Amino acid sequence: MKNIVFLTFYTLFSLQLSNAQNTVEAPADNSINGQFETIIRKSTNYRQGGKRYEVVRLLELEALKKNILDTISVANSNIAELQATISEQVSSLSSLNTKLDETSITLKQVTEDKDSMSFFGSMISKGTYSLIVWSIILGLLTFLLLFIYKFKNSNTLTKQAKLNLADVESEFEEHRRRALEREQKISRKLQDEINKNKKGL
C-alpha cells in the first residue's frame, strides 16, 4: 500500500515538475530576494515518511545560483575598486598632509623672516632691531646735545677769555706807556744832571 501511494506521489510530482520546466516565467523582481520569493512561490511540496519536502525547478535554481555568483563577483569587484580608491585616497591624504606640514614649516619660516631682520650678520626680531636703532638714535642725540652744550660753554669761556685778554692787554699797554713815560722822565733827569755836571766843571 505504501508503495502505491509513493508511486502515485512520484508520478504526480514528475508531471508537475515537467510542466513547471516547460513553462518558464520571467521573474517580475530580478533581485536575489525576488528570485528566492519566485522559487519559493513556484515550488511544490509533498510529504514522505512524516517529513515535508519542497520540490524546486532545477533550471530556476541554477539561474539563481548564477545570479548569486554574478552578484558576489560584482560585489567583490566593487569592493576591490573601493579598496583601491580608499588606498589611493589614503595615499593622496598622506601626500596632502606632507605638503601641509611643508607649507606650515615654510609659512613659519617666512613669518619669522618677515618679523626679523639681519643686523651685523645675525637675525634679530624687528622689536629688538627697533630697540637697538632707537637706542643708537637717542645715544647720538644725547651726544649731540652734550656737544652743543660743551660748545656753547666753551664759546662763552672763549669770549670771556678774549675779554679778559683784551683787558689784560689794555692794562699792559697802559703799564708799558707809563713805564715808557717814567723811563723818558728818568732819562731827561739823567741828561739834565749830566748837563749840569758838565756846566759845573
Instruction: Give dist(CA 35, CA 66) in Å, integer.
Output: 12
- DSSP secondary structure string for all residues of 14-32: HHHHHHHHHSPPPPS--SH
Count structural domains, the chain.
2
Residue that terminates a domain, selected from 14, 43, 78: 78
pLDDT at residue 130 above 90?
A: no
Asked if 66 and 105 count as a contact pair (C-beta separation under 8 A), the reply is no
pLDDT at residue 176 above 90?
A: no
What's the pLDDT tens digit per position in 45-58?
888 888 888 788 88
The answer to whether residue 99 is domain-embedded is no
Asked if 67 and 35 count as a contact pair (C-beta separation under 8 A), the reply is yes
Enclosing domain of residue 47: 2-78
3-state secondary structure of 51: strand
**Cell digits of residue 56:** 524546486
Q: CA-CA distances (angstroms) from residue 91 to 8, 81, 87, 94?
A: 69, 15, 6, 5
Asked if 48 and 9 count as a contact pair (C-beta separation under 8 A), the reply is yes
The answer to whether residue 49 is domain-embedded is yes
Residue that terminates a domain, selected from 20, 55, 78: 78
129 and 72, same structural domain?
A: no
- pLDDT winner (highest mean) among 86-100, 101-115, 173-187: 86-100
Question: What is the predicted pLDDT for the residue at 63?
Answer: 84
Asked if 63 and 38 count as a contact pair (C-beta separation under 8 A), the reply is no
The answer to whether residue 151 is domain-embedded is yes
Burial class of residue 17, CB neighbours in 10 A (0-12, 13-18, 19+): middle
- DSSP secondary structure string for all residues of 102-136: HHHHHHHHHHHHHTEEEETTEEEEHHHHHHHHHHH
pLDDT at residue 142 above 90?
A: yes
Percentage with pLDDT > 90 across the chain = 24
> Torsion over CA of 186, 192, 195 and 201, rounded to 10 degrees?
-100
Asked if 45 and 13 count as a contact pair (C-beta separation under 8 A), the reply is no
Instruction: Give dist(CA 102, CA 110) in Å, integer.
Output: 12
The answer to whether residue 132 is domain-embedded is yes
The answer to whether residue 164 is domain-embedded is yes
**Cell digits of residue 194:** 749830566
The answer to whether residue 165 is domain-embedded is yes
The answer to whether residue 106 is domain-embedded is no
- φ/ψ of residue 190, rounded to 5: -65, -45
